[in-house]
């Protein structure tokens, strides 16, 4: 349950002094052209501007880390410097990337030890809204602040920088003293339930920021959900927001939603186009009353800028459904589920072992990265994965290195023209089919992006070779 508005008002006077449209911290440019991103401990005010400081782990001193901004087809060169006391690596979420640069500790690279660095060097094939985050013990490292936005512009960006806003939302759990609650981290009880849910939302690391917009002008709002486990419930229709991209991939049109709330799962992104007429707010709707977590002040005389050119879709190979190879993934475990029959590191777990191993979920009976891949695909082969959620919980499943289409969802009408995604939500008892062309060679993760679930068993891998 998010803290109530009343709790928030206590600090409202300090917040009215808030600066206009806040900016991200900058990456450091090294002499050889690499952007330097340094992970390390830092302190940040999460609850109110003049309030208590939380001890976080951040990239370049602030969560979110610097906004990395490049143009489609460009090379990204980042030197990751690890000043943490534990190993880490950076994953570039949603980028159809060269496997060696995917940043998954233990699968595509060794975790970078404290004091060491690692050079990431890759090109970005698709324009859109992406993000990066720690990919070693993510449940802990991301919860403490190790993430940032990665924006890939179209060659001719339709929105200038003033009309193109990146909004990285995060769900934090604060203690009564208004600082990050670290004592509760790693609770096995939460790992077996909905994951670590917070009680406070920030945007771009700021409590309740204000953005200044001009009336009648078109804006692109790029929303990223960096939460460990919180599914954000939003309603873009409340401010006339129309969807132009999901998970980075432009639709080539602007869609008005016909339902509410709109669910933005952990790691998912949505880009909206908004032409504001008056002040509005971003509200999270899962509680008894809407929880406002960012406001937009609208001023000016409203000389309309007209409808901007919308970004065109990226070129991603269409799945060949009639010839697809079917793979099945059966999700089990968790609280109020069947915790039997979990194999972990080659042995069957008995109930008493759950506490010791912290493995309480399984994919096809196996917890956490079995020796064998979920499937091995030939390059160019279409894979159709049928995912059955036989648990009592919702999950946010993420495929590395590829985008896919949701081609079927039980209990819902099939989408005639499904969007590309890299993360999909699946409700308890639901079956979802996704299809993708396995065209990116290497070993890739397929896991739940509720980071506690991923750590507690919901991680598998596949290979394209
Ligand atoms: Cu965004 Cu495997 O993660
Ligand atoms: Cu999950």
Please tell me the predicted confidence (pLDDT) of residue 425: 98
Ligand 2 centroid to Cα of residue 401, in Å, is 19
Question: CB under 8 Å to 102, separation ≥6 — which residues?
Answer: 91, 92, 108, 109, 400, 401, 442, 444
Structure tokens at 105: 């500790």
Domains of the chain in sequence order = 13-155 (2.60.40.420), 170-299 (2.60.40.420), 321-464 (2.60.40.420)
Rounded-to-integer distance, Cα 28 and Cα 177, Å: 33
What was the pLDDT predicted at 17? 36
User: What is the residue whose two structure tokens read 């940032």?
Assistant: 148
- What 3 state SS string does 399-433 have? ECCCCEEEEEECCCCCCCCCCEECEEEECCCCEEE
Ligand 1 close to Cβ of residue 91 (< 6 A): yes
Nearest ligand to the C-alpha atom of residue 130: 1
Which secondary structure element, helix H or strand E, spans residue 5, and what is its range? helix 5-9
| Strand boundaries in 258-346, DSSP class E | 262-264, 269-274, 280-284, 291-299, 325-333, 342-344
**C-alpha 218 to ligand 1 mean position (Å):** 31
Least Cα distance to 168 among 243, 128, 221, 214 occurs for 221
| Per-residue confidence (pLDDT) for residue 18, from 0 to 100 | 40
The ligand 1 atom at the shortest distance from the C-alpha of residue 447 is 2
Separation of CA 291 and ligand 1 centre (Å): 27
Q: Is residue 449 within 8 Å of 138, Cβ to Cβ?
A: no
Query: Measured between alpha carbons, how far is 408 from 402 in angstroms, rounded to an integer?
Result: 18
Which ligand 1 atom is the nearest neighbour of the CA of 445?
Answer: 2
Is any atom of ligand 1 closer than 6 Å to the C-beta of 267? yes
Sign of CA dihedral 49, 54, 60, 63: negative
Distances (CA, A) of 256 to 245, 294, 387: 12, 21, 28
Predicted local confidence at residue 362, as pLDDT: 94
| Cβ neighbours for 58, distance < 8 A, ≥ 6 positions apart | 39, 40, 41, 42, 44, 65, 145, 146
Give phi and psi for 432, each to the nearest 5.
-130, 135
Ligand 1 atom 3: the closest Cα is on which residue? 93
Rounded mean pLDDT for each run of 10 residues along the chain, 465 residues in total: 52 40 83 97 93 97 97 98 98 98 98 98 98 98 98 92 96 97 95 96 95 95 98 98 98 96 98 97 96 96 78 97 97 84 87 86 91 95 98 98 97 89 98 98 98 97 97
Nearest ligand by distance to the CA of 422: 1
**Closest ligand to residue 456's CA:** 2
The span from the CA of 461 to the CA of 368, in Å, is 9
Per-residue confidence (pLDDT) for residue 21, from 0 to 100: 54
Ligand 1 centroid to Cα of residue 450, in Å, is 10
The phi-psi region of residue 98 (left if phi > 0; otherwise alpha if psi is between -120 and 50; otherwise beta) is: beta
**Looking at ligand 1, which atom is closest to the CA of residue 400?**
2
414: CA distance to ligand 1 center in Å? 27
What is the per-residue pLDDT for 16? Answer: 39
- Rounded CA-CA distance 141/132 in Å is 12
Burial 46-85 (b: 16+ CB within 10 A, else e): bbbbebeebebbbbbebbbbbbbbbebeeebebbbbbebe
| Residue in the block written with tokens 């933005």 | 264
What whole-number distance in Å separates Cα of residue 443 and Cα of residue 401? 9
459-464 and 423-426: which strand pairing?
Answer: unpaired
Question: pTM of the prediction?
Answer: 0.95
Residue 225, number of CB atoms within 10 A of its CB: 25
Q: Is residue 445 in contact with ligand 1, taking CB distance under 6 Å?
A: yes
CB of 398 within 6 A of ligand 1: the answer is: yes
Q: Considering only CA atoms, which residue is closest to atom 1 of ligand 1?
A: 93
pLDDT value, residue 305: 67
For 85, the token pair is: 């006391």
């Amino acid at each position: 349950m998010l803290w109530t508005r009343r709790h928030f008002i206590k600090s409202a006077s300090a917040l009215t002094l808030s600066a206009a449209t806040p900016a991200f911290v900058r990456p450091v440019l090294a002499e050889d052209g690499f952007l330097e991103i340094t992970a390390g401990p830092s302190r940040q005010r999460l609850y109110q501007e003049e309030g208590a400081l939380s001890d976080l782990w951040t990239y370049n001193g602030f969560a979110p880390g610097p906004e990395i901004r490049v143009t489609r087809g460009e090379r990204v060169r980042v030197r990751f410097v690890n000043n943490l006391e534990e190993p880490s690596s950076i994953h570039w979420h949603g980028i159809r990337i060269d496997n060696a640069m995917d940043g998954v500790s233990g699968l595509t690279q060794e975790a970078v030890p404290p004091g060491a660095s690692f050079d990431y060097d890759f090109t970005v094939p698709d324009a859109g809204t992406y993000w990066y985050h720690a990919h070693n013990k993510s449940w802990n490292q991301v919860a403490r602040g190790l993430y940032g936005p990665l924006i890939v512009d179209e060659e001719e960006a339709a929105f200038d920088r003033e009309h193109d806003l990146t909004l990285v939302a995060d769900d934090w759990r604060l203690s009564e003293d208004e600082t990050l609650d670290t004592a509760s981290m790693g609770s096995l009880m939460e790992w077996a339930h909905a994951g670590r849910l917070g009680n406070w939302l920030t945007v771009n690391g700021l409590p309740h920021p204000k953005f200044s917009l001009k009336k009648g002008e078109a804006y692109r709002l790029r929303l990223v959900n960096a939460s460990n486990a919180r599914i954000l419930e939003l309603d873009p229709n409340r401010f006339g927001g129309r969807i132009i991209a999901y998970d980075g991939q432009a639709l080539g049109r602007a869609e008005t939603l016909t339902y509410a709330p709109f669910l933005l799962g952990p790691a998912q992104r949505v880009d909206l186009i908004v032409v504001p007429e008056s002040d509005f707010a971003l509200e999270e709707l899962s509680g008894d009353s809407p929880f406002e977590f960012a406001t937009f002040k609208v001023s000016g005389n409203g000389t309309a800028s007209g409808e901007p050119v919308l970004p065109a879709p990226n070129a991603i190979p269409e799945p060949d459904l009639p010839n697809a190879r079917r793979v099945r993934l059966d999700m089990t475990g968790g609280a109020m589920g069947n915790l039997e029959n979990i194999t972990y590191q080659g042995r069957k777990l008995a109930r008493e072992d759950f506490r010791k191993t912290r493995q309480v979920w399984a994919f096809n009976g196996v917890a956490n990265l079995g020796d064998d891949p979920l499937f091995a695909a030939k390059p160019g082969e279409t894979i159709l994965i049928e995912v059955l959620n036989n648990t009592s919980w919702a999950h946010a499943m993420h495929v590395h290195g590829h985008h896919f289409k949701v081609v079927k969802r039980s209990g819902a009408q099939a989408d005639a023209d499904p969007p590309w995604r890299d993360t999909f939500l699946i409700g308890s008892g639901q079956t979802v089919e996704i299809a993708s062309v396995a065209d990116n060679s290497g070993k890739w993760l397929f896991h739940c992006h509720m980071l506690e679930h991923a750590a507690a068993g919901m991680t598998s891998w596949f290979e394209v070779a």
